Amino acid sequence: MATELYDLSVPVFVRGLRVLSGLLDKGAAFATEKGIDPLTLTQAKLIEDMRPLTAQVQFASDTAKGTVIRLGQLDPFPMADEEQTFDDLQQRIAKTIAFLESVPRERIDGREDAEVVLKTPGGDLHFAGRAHLLGFSLPNFYFHVTIAYALLRQAGVPVGKLDFLGGL
């Protein structure tokens, strides 16, 4: 049996978001244990011109839900980018997972060759469904999850490779 587009998208995004949630749990616990203002971690940046941890979570969420919306030709599911705290970020992840899990497989499977248009400030990008997922969305999603991991690790949060991999 061939692997379907749904199998390459929704479960992968859900797993990655659960990993991200676990990383945030460790970040919140670290802040409490060390007496650090949690906003110090949620607003942390690797370098001044990069966006903070909150934005990395928002971008991962937006990539996951936006990809599924485009692949499944679904109505937009906007979320305001107002999260500041670990709890706010956890709520966003939970909403994103709930949305992803609500999407019927039939909306995604069979759309491997369908045109997908990603609207960006620099112009529209056109992809076939599979190329959009494998060549753009998954790398982008894991970029933001990786940056979130790196921000927490740089701050001293005790996370390691198995945390990033989801504990296998």
- Distance separating alpha carbons of residues 139 and 145, to the nearest angstrom: 10
Q: Is 146 helix (H, G, I), strand (E, B) or coil?
A: helix
| Interval 107-121 mean pLDDT | 93
The mean pLDDT value of the chain amounts to 95
Residue 108 scores a pLDDT above 70: yes
For residues 77 and 162, give the distance between their C-alpha atoms in angstroms, rounded to a whole number: 32
Alpha helices in 35-137 (DSSP H): 38-42, 53-72, 86-102, 129-131
Give dist(CA 116, CA 73) in Å, integer: 9
CA distance from start to end of the chain: 25
Tens digit of each residue's pLDDT (9 = 90 or more) over 3-43: 699 999 999 999 999 999 999 999 999 999 999 999 999 99
Going from N- to C-terminal start, the domains of the chain cover 5-165
pLDDT of amino acid 168: 61
* pLDDT tens-place string over residues 137-154: 999 999 999 999 999 999
Neighbours of 107 (CB within 10 A): 17
Q: Tell me the pLDDT tens digit for each residue of 47-104.
A: 999 999 999 999 999 999 999 999 999 999 899 999 999 999 999 999 999 999 999 9
Question: How distant, in Å, are the alpha carbons of 11, 46, 102, 108 from that of 105?
Answer: 11, 37, 9, 6
Q: Is residue 52 a contact partner of residue 44, using CB atoms and an 8 Å limit?
A: yes
Q: Check residue 41 and give its pLDDT.
A: 97
Task: For residue 84, report the phi and psi dihedrals to the nearest 5 degrees.
Answer: -130, -35
Q: Is the pLDDT of residue 1 over 60?
A: no
Q: How far apart are CA 93 and CA 132, in angstroms?
A: 22
What pLDDT was estimated at residue 3? Answer: 67
CATH architecture designation of domain 5-165: Up-down Bundle (1.20)
Among the listed residues 11, 35, 44, the one whose alpha carbon sits nearest the alpha carbon of residue 141: 11
User: Taking 90 as the threshold, does the pLDDT of residue 2 lie above it?
Assistant: no
Which pLDDT value is given to residue 166? 83
Q: Give the pLDDT band of residue 119 (cuts 50, 70, 90).
A: confident
Three-state DSSP class for 144? helix
